[in-house]
Each structure stands twice: as structure tokens, then as C-alpha cells.
Amino acid sequence: MNVLEVTSLEKKYKEKHAVKGVTFDLKKGNCTALIGPNGAGKTTTLNMLAGLITPTSGRFNTLENTRDIRSIIGYLPQYPSFFEWMTGMEYLTFSGEITGLSRKESKRRSEELINLVNLSEGENRRISHYSGGMKQRLGIAQSLIHQPELVILDEPVSALDPFGRREVLDLLNDLKEQTTILFSTHILNDAEQVCDDVLFLYNGELIEQGPLNDIKKRHHTSSLKLSFDDNASRYREVLREIPWIKQVKEKGESLIIEVEELKRDRMRLFTLISEGGWPVTKFESREQSLEDLFMKVMR
Ligand SMILES: Nc1ncnc2c1ncn2[C@@H]1O[C@H](COP(=O)(O)OP(=O)(O)OP(=O)(O)O)[C@@H](O)[C@H]1O
């Protein structure tokens, strides 16, 4: 069941085509990462879905064909602004009332959310005294105040330090139980930790999309990594001459060796290393990361 179906969505600014004919579905209960480098069109896409800018063309349908999409979505912009003189609790209660909740209901929901995003300790502190991670968690709580079917988060972790990032990623993992999530990021490692589905956006176009595991299988490569104390390039030249090795890349004093069949070729490489007495300090089978995948798809 799809919470949102987006068809041929476009945004043009004079000569600039920021988003070009983007089509995708969001499955109920899934967490989808919209991934792309700076300027790919992520914010423009999310702003169109959030009703903040008008698409040049295209359409989107919601599950119940809701007339105003804003009633079913929660949205956290890339640079959220808060009334910093308010406490976290005041801000949430106020946000709830704006969405149409009664004061009592809004207070109850705010208390629930303060617990969910782990802000109990700072609920009566002014937002101006919050850390970046706390503000981002408050922003996420605010986006959930009216129990939306879909939460759209624009770069929720990109501006945070590693501690803040971890807090927010853990929170996203918890939220997956409760709602459908679409979030943008250019930090692939973060996306990999929480998302089920990915949308790869490049130059305003979707270049690959689907369940992360399916895409990984589709673009699967088997590789091995050899690390040396020094002189890796000498061994690179030897490996390049071997017919069962597809590609050898040098990364510092390590070699990334792409092979056809991991199990078989791992043994072959072991034999080569031991017979040749190569000064290898580390031998690893490599799992393809989302970053490897993104680079491959883009190429
Ligand atoms: N109001 C605007 N007028 C003209 N061009 C715009 C406007 N808004 C965005 N663009 C252009 O559209 C393209 C996509 O921008 P967008 O902000 O959506 O990218 P992004 O993927 O979110 O990038 P970032 O990760 O840097 O936030 C960029 O080239 C940008 O310069």
C-alpha cells in the first residue's frame, strides 16, 4: 500500500531545471532515503511534496486522495527555525494548537513526544540553550505533533556532530515503527543505517530507486581488500595482469580488487600471496557500501 504516489514531478526556474520528471511511490511504513549530492534537487522535491512550492508540472496522489496534503504530512525543513525564547514543551504545545488540536490535547501529545524524542530532561529549558542534536529532535517531535501518515525530513542529520547524528539516527529507527518516513541526505553511511528504500537523485533526475537490498543485489560486485605497509603499487601492477581479476584500485597502501566469484577468487588470491611471500598486513572481503553503490550507479 502506498502512502504517496508521485508522478512526473518537475520544477523549472527560468532556464534551470531543478527537478526533472521524478516518479516514485512511498510504501506505508517504510523509511525512504532521498540521496543526492549538493544541488541534486532534494530540497526542491521535498518542498513540493510539503506544499511549500508549486510544481511546474506533475502530480502526487495520497492514500485517501486527501485534498490538502499538508494534513497528512509532518515536515522538518533543512534549516528549522524555532522561537528560541520558548521552552521545548511550550513550543510543541503551541505547534499542536496551530495544527488544530485543543490546548489539552496538544499538551498531552507534547508530553508523549517529549518522551519519544528523549527530551524530558530539557523540556522546561529555553530552546536557545539546546544543543544542535536537541533542536533537531525537537524539530522531529514538532513534525509528528498531529500524528501524520508521512514525515518528510530534509537533511535531518547533516549539520550534526557524530553524537547528535547518532541520537537522531536512533530516533529515526524508533520512528519507523510508527509512521512512514522520507528523509533526504548526502551522507550515505547514515542513510544505510536506517532506510529500507532509496531514491538516488542526480541533476534533478532519479537515476535509481527501490529497496536498498534489491539495488545492492542488482549492482553487486565482489571485492577483496589487501593492505600493505608500503609499496602497494608494485603489487597492483602484478594483479592487473591476472585474467580472473576484473579491476584493481589503489587506496593509500591498500588495493581494492574486484573479482568475479568471491569464494573461489579469495582462495586463488590467498595462494598467490603465500606463494609469492607478499608483505600483506590485512586481507578482507569487502561488503559493498551504499557509497560504492551510489558512485557506481552515477557513473
Ligand atoms: N529559487 C530558486 N531559483 C533558482 N534556482 C534554484 C532555486 N532553488 C533551487 N534552485 C536550483 O535548483 C537546484 C536544486 O537545488 P536544491 O536546493 O533542491 O538541491 P539539494 O539537492 O537540496 O542541494 P543541497 O544538498 O545543497 O541542499 C540547484 O541547482 C539550485 O541552485
Helical residues (DSSP H) of 177-289, grouped into ranges: 188-194, 212-218, 232-240, 262-276
Spatial separation of the C-alpha atoms in residues 178 and 166, rounded to whole Å:
19
Range 120-144 average pLDDT: 90
Write out pLDDT tens, residues 136-179.
Answer: 889 999 999 988 999 999 998 887 888 888 888 888 888 888 89
Residue located nearest, by CA, to atom 14 of ligand 1:
41
How close is the Cα of 276 to the center of ligand 1, in Å? 53
Of ligand 1's listed atoms, the one at least distance from the Cα of 204 is 14
Q: What is the C-alpha to C-alpha distance for residues 235 and 46, in angstroms, rounded to an integer?
A: 47
Ligand 1 atom nearest 18 alpha carbon: 12
Terminus-to-terminus CA distance in the chain, angstroms? 33
User: Rounded to two decimals, what is the model's pTM?
Assistant: 0.83
Closest-lying ligand 1 atom to the alpha carbon of residue 36? 21
Mutation probe of ligand 1 site: the residue of 11, 13, 52, 199 with most atoms within 8 A of C-beta: 13
Q: How many residues does the chain have?
A: 299
pLDDT, tens digit (0-9, with 9 covering 90-100), for 2-21: 889 999 999 999 888 999 99
Residue whose CA is at the smallest distance from ligand 1 atom 12: 18
HSE of 74, CA atoms in CB hemisphere, 13 A: 22
pLDDT per residue over 225-261, tens digit each?
A: 999 887 888 889 889 988 889 889 888 889 999 888 8
Closest atom of ligand 1 to CA, residue 158:
25
ipTM field: 0.96
Residue 171 phi/psi, 5-degree rounding, is -65, -45
CB 257 within 8 A of CB 248: yes
Tell how far the Cα of 40 is from the centroid of ligand 1, in angstroms.
Answer: 7
Does the pLDDT of residue 293 top 90, yes or no?
A: no
Q: How far is the CA of 255 from the centre of ligand 1 (A)?
A: 37
Average pLDDT over residues 174-192: 88
193 DSSP 8-state letter: H
